[in-house]
Amino acid sequence: MNAPLRFGMIGGGAGAFIGAVHRTAATMDGLAVLVAGCLGSTPERALASGRALGLPADRNHATWRDMLKAEAAMPAGPRPDFITIVTPNESHAEIAAASLRAGFHTVVDKPMTRTAAEAAELAHVASSSGRLLAVTYNYTGYPLVRQAAQMVRSGEIGVVRKVVVEYHQGWLATDLAAEGQKQAAWRADPARAGAGALGDIGTHAENLVSFVTGLRLASVLADVTAFVPGRRVDDDASVLLRFDGGAKGVLSVCQVAAGEENNLTLRVYGTEGSLAWRQENPNELVLSPREGQRRVFTRAGAGSLDTARASTRLPPGHPEGFFEAFANVYRGIVERIAAQRDGRPPADHALLVPGPAEGLRGMRFIEACLASAQASRWTVVG
């Protein structure tokens, strides 16, 4: 690429954790630069956040509708190549559809929408538009998660029999929404967030299982709870999983696990061995063969496979983590857009970027879990 791609952002202004993460990840490798934005839910906050980031006045927009209209009218030179959407869940579908229809490649934070119906419609809009729609399931960007996926597909652990995935946090163990904490407030509102823990972190867990194993989830049996008094969305879920082909799984997500920080753990058990990975120690992947010695693979270390090497920036022993994994997703997004522009096939790493199919599957998983919990029975994942 001769020059970085240009992008605009909707949402993610002052006080928004995920907006800063997206901006850092998108620009980490010098492949993209922020040129425009509507960085807040009110005109005042949006304009103030844009000024703080140094956006020029004519690219700093008060509303997302104004932004899409003005930026779509820009000549090819300054016009954004893609738009990133990091607003609360309730507006993902509307804004992403408008962005695609305005002719922009579009990146939306997970979950893709609030409902499966919204996700299906958005997937249709993306297909009709001819533009890329990417969903930032960022844990797929870790080098050793990509290595684990390659090892499973190469038969390293044989046929997968069981998967155990846990995502436990403790930050919502008290009613932070009632205290006015911004990030907790919209997540606790079913009209804005849709689901609670299942939507916020459960969809990450489901996506990680699918990405690594390649298994298709067939049905779920879920026990879903809101432990904090007065909370209107779930903060804990225990889910049994059945996959096509006979594999089974257990998924546990919890945001009231006092003392936990961001403990996402995956274990995959096959006929010939198992793999284990933990997000809080992401630079190690443990292979335990049925017979033979346990091996610990390290990022960029001996035994690294091509998928892991292609997603690595630093030499062995220099830790890489959350930002770098997120940046790997953006690197794939940029490569996909550039390849489409140049009329060439994208590089292999770009094919790992999650898109509408993954976003729709995540919403169907959430809705199946909620329906299962309500009916106390196994529920097919649509």
CATH of domain 143-314+361-380: 3.30.360.10
* Architecture per CATH, 5-139+327-355: 3-Layer(aba) Sandwich (3.40)
Would you call the peptide bond into 111 cis, given omega within 30 degrees of 0 as the criterion? yes
The conformation of residue 60, written as its DSSP 8-state character, comes to: B
Cα–Cα distance measured from residue 184 to residue 332, given in angstroms and rounded to the nearest whole number? 31
pLDDT digits (tens, 9 = 90+) for 321-377: 999 999 999 999 999 999 999 999 999 999 999 999 999 999 999 999 999 999 999
Cα–Cα distance measured from residue 227 to residue 212, given in angstroms and rounded to the nearest whole number? 31
Q: What is the mean pLDDT of the segment spanning 8-12? A: 97
3-class DSSP state for residue 18?
Answer: helix
Structure tokens that stand for 172 in this block: 């919502």
Which residues, other chains included, contact 317 with Cβ-Cβ below 8 Å and sequence gap of 6+?
A: none
Q: What is the mean pLDDT of the segment spanning 170-198? A: 94
- Whether 217 has a pLDDT exceeding 80, the answer reads yes
| pLDDT reported for residue 382 | 86
| pLDDT reported for residue 14 | 85
Q: What region does 344 belong to: left with phi over 0, alpha with psi -120 to 50, or beta?
A: beta
pLDDT digits (tens, 9 = 90+) for 72-117: 999 999 999 999 999 999 999 999 999 999 999 999 999 999 999 9
Cα–Cα distance measured from residue 201 to residue 256, given in angstroms and rounded to the nearest whole number? 12
Where exactly are the structural domains of the chain?
5-139+327-355, 143-314+361-380
Cβ–Cβ < 8 Å for 83, 104: yes
Cα–Cα distance measured from residue 220 to residue 273, given in angstroms and rounded to the nearest whole number? 25
Cβ–Cβ < 8 Å for 273, 288: yes
pLDDT digits (tens, 9 = 90+) for 224-239: 999 999 999 999 999 9
Neighbour tally for 263: CB within 10 Å: 16
DSSP string across 148-194: HHHHHHTTTT-SEEEEEEEEE--TTSS-TGGGT-HHHHHHT-HHHHS
Q: Amino acid letter at 55? A: L
| pLDDT reported for residue 2 | 73
pLDDT digits (tens, 9 = 90+) for 291-316: 999 999 999 999 999 999 999 999 99
The conformation of residue 340, written as its DSSP 8-state character, comes to: H
Prediction pTM value: 0.95
Cα–Cα distance measured from residue 234 to residue 241, given in angstroms and rounded to the nearest whole number? 19
